């Protein structure tokens, strides 16, 4: 049985690139919180909308498990974990509701500076390091390219220098990190930004109205920002 709740719970990144802008957006929507000391849970004051401060990677799982109702997370993380669930045959329970206009980046394939880049065919038989194995595999399959995906949870950009991979598939914003590692971006797999993720099926309790209210306010704030 589904839990009936009369408060809405939103998961955002505790720190990192999305933490402050996520909180600022929700504040601009008129939300405020009584800070809790442990700063994992913030109790909503003016509206019954609470915050859960977590690692960004945990947000899709928290949504899937119904621990939170909405989440602010990079499209890259949401899509990767959705692909993982699809792969495992699990039905999707969360989807992108709004693009939020911050945390912009690209999921790019990058190759060593000294490669004479001719096109995707060049990746055939290569080892490509990435923290986004599902998105990379899906793209490779779509291109009909057989390559080895080397899953690394961090420091992807040094993999070629360490001899772990020939190329990388990583998040890029300015490109400075790639350049510092003698890599150059050659293809974009995904254009990403922070998104509001929420349920595929509507709530059947008080959360439905709270979510509508929040979405209306958020749309107003986002329109003003453009």
Q: Which of 5, 7, 17, 217 binds ligand ATP (CB under 6 A)?
A: 17
Q: Which of 192, 197, 203, 214 binds ligand ATP (CB under 6 A)?
A: 192
Q: Label the pairing between strands 94-99 and 194-199.
A: antiparallel
Return the number of the residue (155 or 212) whose C-beta is nearest ligand ATP: 155
* Site track 136-175 with ligand ATP (rule: CB under 6 A), x = hit: -----------------------------------x-x--
Return the number of the residue (13 or 134) whose C-beta is nearest ligand ATP: 13
Task: Answer yes or no whether residue 76 interacts with ligand ATP by CB under 6 A.
Answer: yes
Q: Is 145 helix (H, G, I), strand (E, B) or coil?
A: coil
Whole-Å CA distances, 131 to 80, 105, 189, 214? 9, 15, 13, 32
Return the number of the residue (169 or 210) whose C-beta is nearest ligand ATP: 169
* Site track 28-57 with ligand ATP (rule: CB under 6 A), x = hit: ---------------------------xxx
Return the number of the residue (26 or 77) whose C-beta is nearest ligand ATP: 77
* Alpha carbon distance 118, 99 (integer Å): 33
* Alpha carbon distance 127, 56 (integer Å): 27
Number of residues near Zn ion (by CB under 5 A): 2
- Quote the least distance from Cβ 192 to ligand ATP, whole Å: 5
User: Which of the 8 DSSP states describes residue 158?
Assistant: G
Find residue 8's DSSP bridge partners: 49
Return the number of the residue (76 or 130) whose C-beta is nearest ligand ATP: 76
Around 30, how many Cα atoms within 13 Å sit in the side-chain half-sphere?
13
Whole-Å CA distances, 42 to 45, 174, 190? 9, 33, 33
Q: Label the pairing between strands 148-151 and 127-130.
A: parallel
Residue 107 sits at φ, ψ, to 5 deg, of: -95, 105
Near Zn ion in 38-77, by CB under 5 A: 56-57
Which positions touch Zn ion (CB under 5 A)?
A: 56-57
> Which residues contact ligand ATP (rule: CB under 6 A)?
13, 16-18, 55-57, 74, 76-77, 103, 105, 171, 173, 192
């Amino acid at each position: 049985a589904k839990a009936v709740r009369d408060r809405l719970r939103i998961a955002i990144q505790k720190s990192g690139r999305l933490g402050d802008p996520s909180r600022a957006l929700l504040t601009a929507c008129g939300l405020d919180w009584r800070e809790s000391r442990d700063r994992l849970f913030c109790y909503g004051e003016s509206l019954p909308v609470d915050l859960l401060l977590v690692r960004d990677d945990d947000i899709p799982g928290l949504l899937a498990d119904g621990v939170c109702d909405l989440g602010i997370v990079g499209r890259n993380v949401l899509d990767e974990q959705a692909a993982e669930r699809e792969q495992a045959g699990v039905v999707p329970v969360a989807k992108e509701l709004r693009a939020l206009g911050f945390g912009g980046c690209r999921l790019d394939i990058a190759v060593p500076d000294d490669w004479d880049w001719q096109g995707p065919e060049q990746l055939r038989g290569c080892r490509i390091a990435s923290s986004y194995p599902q998105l990379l595999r899906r793209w490779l399959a779509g291109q009909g390219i057989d390559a080895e995906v080397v899953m690394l949870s961090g420091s992807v950009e040094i993999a070629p220098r360490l001899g772990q991979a020939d190329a990388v598939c990583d998040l890029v914003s300015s490109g400075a990190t790639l350049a510092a590692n003698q890599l150059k971006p050659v293809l974009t797999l995904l254009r990403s930004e922070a998104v509001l993720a929420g349920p595929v099926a509507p709530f059947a309790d008080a959360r439905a109205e709270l979510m509508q209210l929040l979405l209306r306010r958020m749309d107003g704030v986002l329109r003003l920002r453009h």
